[in-house]
Amino acid sequence: MSVQKIKFSNQSGHTLAALLELPDKPLLGYAVFAHCFTCNKNLTAVRNIGRALTDNGIAVLRFDFTGLGESEGEFEHTNFSSNVNDLIAAAQYLEKNYASPSILIGHSLGGAAVIFAAQHIKSVKAVATIGAPSNPKHVTHLFKSSMEEIKEKGEALLSIGGREFKIQKQFLDDINEKNMNTTVKEMNKALLVLHSPQDTTVGIENAAQIYQAAWHPKSFISLDGADHLLSKKEDSIYVGQMIANWAVRYIKIKS
């Protein structure tokens, strides 16, 4: 596997930092990975999933959303829609410089984002979600105690995962406008839902709701014993292997 550091611009003109991991074996296709809310491309689980995919011939582009990690922009000015737009920009970068992506993979809120982005990326044939909420509004549980402050003052400074982030009212307004159920129904892509029954951050009922809303072809894999962040190495490697094995049926094999 070879790793290339790359940068690309989103529609707001911000430069986003990314890593493109290319397999040593014959290339089957390209995937774009969307990380979880307030996370970044270097989360250990993301790296492990990417390595499992490249070991199976699938190149992976993982990047930091606007305002996170090494990417430009202010997190407080971002929202769910901007995450979706960042995903579209990543796909456009691949199309222009390598080949159009055929797979979108998203973890947690990133899983919801790839479902919304898929309808705007014609080359995508397969979408995989990992511990994804059935509605973007689910993320508000992280700052439930500050909801009134956000509504009254327009923003609030919150501690998420030991780090401070400013959340603005426009973020709440944006996710409240999203209809996940309709988007899943209209996606028209092969869907793989991976979720742990023991996930205490995003309950397993979310996986059921996404699965029930989707049309076939759709599949579900239980990540029994895993936590939400896939903190055990064997869990994240398993996720990568399962996605790779499933996706091969839907992606165009390169000659």
Q: How far is it, in rounded angstroms, from Cα 201 to Cα 152?
A: 27
122's torsion region: left (phi>0), alpha (psi -120 to 50) or beta? alpha
Q: How far is it, in rounded angstroms, from Cα 234 to Cα 21?
A: 20
Which pLDDT belongs to residue 178?
A: 87
| Helical packing angle, 44-54 and 233-247, nearest 10° | 40
3-state secondary structure of 210: helix
Number of H helices, E strands in the chain: 8, 10
Domain coverage including residue 242: 2-137+179-247
Residue 201 located in a structural domain: yes
Residue 224 located in a structural domain: yes
Tokens of 33: 């990975």
Residue 26 located in a structural domain: yes
Residue 148 located in a structural domain: no
Please name which of 102, 88, 89 lies closest in space to residue 59, comparing C-alpha atoms. Answer: 102
Residue 155 located in a structural domain: no
Please name which of 129, 112, 115, 116 lies closest in space to residue 219, comparing C-alpha atoms. Answer: 129
Residue 165: Cβ within 10 Å count: 18
Which pLDDT belongs to residue 253?
A: 53
If one counts the domains in the chain, the total is 1
Which pLDDT belongs to residue 255?
A: 40
Which CATH number goes with the domain that contains 62?
3.40.50.1820
Handedness of CA 137, 35, 206, 230 (dihedral sign): negative
C-beta separation of 165 from 79 below 8 A: no
DSSP alpha helix (H) spans, the chain: 44-54, 80-97, 109-118, 147-153, 169-176, 180-186, 205-213, 233-247
What pTM does this model have? 0.93
| Helical packing angle, 80-97 and 109-118, nearest 10° | 60
Averaged over successive runs of 10 residues, the pLDDT of the chain (255 residues) comes to 94 95 93 92 94 96 95 90 96 96 96 96 97 88 76 79 79 86 94 97 96 96 97 97 95 58
Residue 107 located in a structural domain: yes
Residue 44 located in a structural domain: yes
Q: Which residues of 11-44 are buried (b: 16+ CB within 10 A; e: fewer)?
A: eeebebbbbbbbbeeebbbbbbbbbbbbbbbebe
- In this structure, what DSSP letter does residue 100 have? -
Q: How far is it, in rounded angstroms, from Cα 90 to Cα 88?
A: 5
Q: How far is it, in rounded angstroms, from Cα 111 to Cα 126?
A: 13
Residue 131 located in a structural domain: yes
